Amino acid sequence: MSSVIAQLMRKHLMTPEQLQSIREKCSLVKKSVQDISVEMGIVREEDLFDAALQISGSPTVDLDQSRIDSALIKLVPFAMARGHGIFPVQRDEDTLTVAMSDPSNVVVRDELRFVTDLEIKPVLCRKNQISEYIKKFYHPDTVQQILKNTLEDSPLEQIEREPLSSEEIVDLALLSSDNSSFIKLVHKIICDAVEGRASDVHIEPQEKNVEVRYRIDGYLKSVIKIPRNLHPRLAARIKILAQLDIAEQRKIQEGRIKAVIDGKKIDLRISVIPVFYGEKIVLRILESTESKFDLNQIGFERGELEVFKKAIGKTQGVILVTGPTGSGKTTTLYSALQHIKCETKNIMTIEDPIEYLIEGINQLQLSHSKDVNFSSGLKSILRQDPDVILVGEIRDKETAEIAFRASLTGHLVFSTLHTNNAASSVTRLFNLGLEPYFLSSSLVLLVSQRLVRMVCSKCRQAYNPDKHVLQKFKKYLQDVNIRKFYRGKGCSQCNFSGFYGRTSIFEILKVDDQIKDLIFNRASERLIFKTAVHNGMRSLIGSGVAKVAAGITTLEEVAKVTDVMEEREQPLVGPDEEKWDPSLLLAE
């Protein structure tokens, strides 16, 4: 145990249990205990610095105010600098001054002395500043700079490598130090995408060039155009890493790359399809961490969170999360499983595909070649004595019936549907052929959600929305008190987009006794919705406007992901509902 960690424990800023949890994560990703403790939110950067300052007695350094000799970078290998959080600052004959976040770590100093064959003078520096300078000086090349050297690069044969084993993890940052500028180009594109918070990388061959685009916060952005004659090598390099057939260019191929980028374990899902001008490649970036699956961090407001936690705490029933592709349904469901998992519960999932692997949960991958589909897989799961079941998606009547029967026999079932709102989930299930008594006796909660971009906190400023947008939301704005509207001006942090990150807006429909009776009597979707609103449900638009009022997003963002309707002006009962009057229920 380092002296800094010991000091944190003496000051009761870290418990032995937390330290054990941190060490377990350190074994999965090549990062120090200090790095993981900050990422997990257990300690703050300031706590680490203060603890190191109290015990080291070393002088401090501000790298922003120091003259950095870039020639010293060659003395300290990148893997060592990143792994231990150290950065060479200055050399004075046989003494090397090194910035360290923990100068009291004798083991690191001895290792550095052995590698450099110099005496080491440690100086204390903030961990985040060291990390910033490692990125800046060890990988200074931009994609454009690398591309200039790629045009006269080595032939294809020189970039091929031995096939990777299925469990081998590639450290892209280390591989990008290869002499081949083409290899650097491929890896730089991927690393920049991860650093820029991209969820996907699109490599699209066109008539005269290859366009590379990143999807950031839900929107594609073109980052570079590459000469078309480089596309075969670009595709071959990615295929080699994903263990795909580089000779096959006319078939659809899918693969996977397990990588370490900047110390983070990343899963890259590769999809290659032949298009008119070549092969279009899409890389889906999945960060292999469970820390993102936190119910408190995905956008629930306090009241919504209480309703959701109460529902997922039940022992049986069906909870459905609805919305279009890319609306955050998987994150919500994984967060729910992460919240309820414990040693007393057997949690099993069947997914297509498995997006993230979560420790303590048994996950089954769909396989059409092995006749494992949702219905057959679900039947097999029920023989495994599960307590909680996640069905990736309800697509047909057979899967739906098995899932709902499972809930009636004492299982808690989670699944998804592709519908526009929570109430329309009932209509969708009716259309699949389920009987009303099935739904009314099993459904616990219906959640519809969308993702909206968040205003960048660094460049946020007040503004006046367009009057046409205000008119659209007129009925909803009357219910909230918004003094100022905010949007991002655009800065380096948000890449001048004005937005940084995304959050969810929710429509949470509790299936109470009134809603059960409506479902049992096959009430219309509109009637179910209006009754739920009468009982306190907030619509998707209402949830979005609440986040606008809090300065989190903009009205324009909410308008993009929701269908702004004047639903409150519609009558509660229409001609098509004369046979079923909910006022009898509401009056009880």
Residue listed under structure tokens 């990125």: 135
CA 471, chain centre distance (Å): 34
CA distance 235 to 490: 34
Q: What is the pTM of this model?
A: 0.71
Q: What is the pLDDT of residues 195-208, one digit of tens each?
A: 888 999 999 999 98
Token digits of residue 449: 């959600």
Over residues 38-47, the mean pLDDT reads 76
Its CATH class, for the domain covering 143-287, is alpha beta
Torsion of CA 11, 13, 18, 22, to 10 degrees: -100
3-133: in CATH 3.40.50.2300 = no
Better pLDDT: 511 or 42: 511
CA distances from 272 to 194, 242, 366 (A): 20, 11, 20
Residue 159, pLDDT score: 33
Q: Which amino acid is at 318?
A: V
Give residue limits of the domains in the chain.
Answer: 3-133, 143-287, 295-574
CA distance 112 to 118: 8
Q: How many CB atoms lie within 10 A of CB 543?
A: 24
Over residues 455-467, the mean pLDDT reads 91
Q: Furthest-apart CA pair in the chain: how many Å?
A: 94
Of 557, 555, 543, 499, the closest CA to residue 299 belongs to: 543
Token digits of residue 390: 């996640």
Q: Which amino acid is at 269?
A: R
Question: For the ranges 25-29, 344-348, 534-538, which has the lowest average pLDDT?
Answer: 25-29
Of 394, 78, 368, 369, the closest CA to residue 86 belongs to: 78
CA distances from 311 to 414, 416, 512 (A): 11, 16, 11
Helix (H, G, I), strand (E, B) or coil at 565: coil
Of 223, 178, 183, the closest CA to residue 204 belongs to: 223
| Exposure of 556 in the CB half-sphere (CA atoms within 13 A) | 14
Which residues lie across from 123 on neighbouring strands?
99
Residue 142, pLDDT score: 58
Residue 496, pLDDT score: 84
Which residues lie across from 449 on neighbouring strands?
506
CA distances from 401 to 238, 363, 375, 426, 446 (A): 42, 21, 9, 14, 17
Return the exposure string of 244-257: e unless at least 16 CB atoms fall within 10 Å of the residue's CB, then b: bebeeeeeebebbb
CA distance 261 to 170: 9
Give the chain's mean pLDDT.
83
Q: What is the pLDDT of residues 155-195, one digit of tens each?
A: 333 333 444 454 556 655 545 444 456 677 888 888 888 88
Over residues 2-6, the mean pLDDT reads 76
Which residues lie across from 510 on neighbouring strands?
445
| Exposure of 416 in the CB half-sphere (CA atoms within 13 A) | 21
CA distances from 111 to 30, 36, 106, 186, 534 (A): 17, 22, 9, 32, 68
Residue 414, pLDDT score: 97
Residue 158, pLDDT score: 32
Residue 153: band (very low, low, confident or very high) from pLDDT cuts 50, 70, 90: very low
Token digits of residue 471: 């008119």
Superfamily grouping for domain 295-574: P-loop containing nucleotide triphosphate hydrolases (3.40.50.300)
